[in-house]
């Protein structure tokens, strides 16, 4: 059925209908070629709602909702996929729903992450589907101080992102000390400390003090290294990555480029209240918390900001993405049974919230 054969009465004043009619008026497009969950006869069997309105609901659910997706604790944990992750990604791909993986891990490149997902069993995902805190740091510096130089404490993903933005490494008089994930040495920490004392600004790719690796193991994060330099130098770091608004601003821009237009609705999916959910909330996005990672259901109520929905895994979203019918928030199994996520005491994330009020006091040299 061609676009000009659709019933138009009563729809011309509806902006959603206008957008749709412009979309399908192309003579080469017919209804069966668009990413609908069912065949045309099934859609036409809804006389109570009317063909066009039914069609509008489905098309705009697929084409105008985009997803920002955390990785560790949402898609995989260590080298194992979380149940339902494959079905979730396949549903996004089959429906043409735009998505972008958003991670605070600055160590890998987008190409590294694409290969990792392929080995784990997720196909059809490319480097363009990833936005890391390393890319975010490189974007930030190239926009705010494009002629700067940096001394880097980090790994290949951060070095590659800075190189791509033509930001030079400098071991003599850098403008910034940039801290990411990865092992370092006391020698390099001492050099970073010296550069900061000489006036270099301290920039961290993310505020994570530690990151979960498995249900029984964690690893140090960029926030821990930045905290070391804050304590030694008395200077505050500026933390990029989630939940910083600049990370979400850039991620939405990249998501729009993938979708060829700006989605009407963007959802952040993550497993961490302090970064994923807080960042989504402050960016004005819907936020879905999954209990397959580092947050337990009984701890959610401790936070002032709350997720839009709580799910056990992202697999619960696969069916509604396929059908275009969102489920009721209270249908989530999260409200019927507790999660099995790991609990760890201690502050997980650094914060620069006090940086604008007073400098961090430098500890005494001796006890």
The backbone region for 70, taken as left when phi is positive above 0, alpha when psi lies in -120 to 50, beta otherwise, is beta
CA 107 to each of CA 54, 157, 161, 176, 329: distance values in angstroms, whole numbers, following the listed order: 45, 5, 10, 18, 35
Write the burial class of residue 28 (CB in 10 Å: 0-12 exposed, 13-18 middle, 19+ buried): exposed
Say how far apart CA 25 and CA 159 lie, in whole Å: 47
Q: Return the H-helix or E-strand segment holding 76.
A: strand 76-77
SS3 state at 177: strand
Q: How many angstroms separate the Cα of 273 from the Cα of each of 198, 208, 303, 347? A: 36, 12, 8, 12
Catalogue the active-site residues.
Answer: 70, 72
User: DSSP secondary structure string, 309-348?
Assistant: EEES-GGGGHHHHHH--PPPGGGSGGGTS--------S--
- Dihedral sign for Cα 241, 203, 188, 225, please: negative
CA distance 254 to 260: 10
* CA–CA dist 125, 110 (Å, integer): 10
Residue closest to 94 by CA, chosen among 324, 335, 355: 324
Which tokens belong to 130?
Answer: 């990833």
What does residue 151 show for φ and ψ, rounded to 5 degrees? -110, 125
């Amino acid at each position: 059925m061609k676009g000009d054969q659709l019933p138009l009465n009563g729809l011309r004043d509806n902006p959603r209908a206008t957008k749709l009619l412009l979309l399908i008026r192309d003579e080469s497009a017919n209804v069966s070629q668009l990413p609908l969950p069912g065949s045309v006869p099934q859609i036409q069997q809804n006389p109570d709602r009317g063909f066009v309105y039914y069609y509008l609901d489905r098309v705009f659910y697929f084409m105008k909702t985009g997803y920002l997706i955390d990785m560790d604790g949402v898609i995989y944990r260590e080298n194992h996929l979380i149940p339902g992750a494959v079905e979730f990604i396949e549903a996004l791909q089959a429906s043409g729903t735009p998505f972008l993986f958003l991670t605070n891990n600055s160590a890998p490149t987008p190409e590294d992450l694409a290969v990792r997902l392929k080995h784990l069993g997720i196909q059809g995902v490319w480097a363009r589907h990833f936005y890391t805190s390393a890319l975010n740091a490189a974007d930030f510096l190239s926009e705010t101080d494009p002629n700067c130089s940096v001394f880097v404490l980090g790994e290949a993903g951060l070095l590659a992102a800075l190189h791509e933005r033509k930001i030079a490494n400098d071991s003599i008089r850098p403008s910034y000390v940039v801290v990411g994930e990865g092992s370092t040495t006391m020698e390099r920490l001492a050099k970073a400390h010296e550069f900061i004392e000489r006036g270099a600004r301290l920039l961290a790719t993310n505020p994570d003090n530690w990151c979960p690796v498995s249900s029984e193991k964690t690893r140090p994060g960029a926030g821990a290294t930045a905290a070391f330099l804050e304590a030694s130098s008395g200077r505050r770091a500026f933390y990029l990555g989630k939940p910083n608004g600049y990370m979400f601003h850039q991620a939405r821009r990249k998501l729009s480029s993938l979708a060829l237009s700006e989605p009407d609705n963007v959802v952040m999916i993550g497993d961490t209240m302090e970064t994923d959910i807080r960042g989504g909330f402050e960016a004005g996005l819907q936020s879905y918390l999954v209990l397959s990672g580092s947050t337990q259901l009984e701890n959610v109520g401790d936070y002032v900001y709350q997720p839009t929905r709580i799910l056990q895994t992202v697999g619960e979203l696969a069916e509604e993405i396929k059908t275009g019918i969102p489920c009721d928030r209270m249908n989530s199994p999260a409200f019927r049974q507790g999660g099995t996520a790991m609990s760890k005491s201690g502050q997980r994330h650094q914060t620069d919230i006090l940086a604008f009020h007073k400098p961090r006091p430098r500890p005494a040299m001796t006890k």
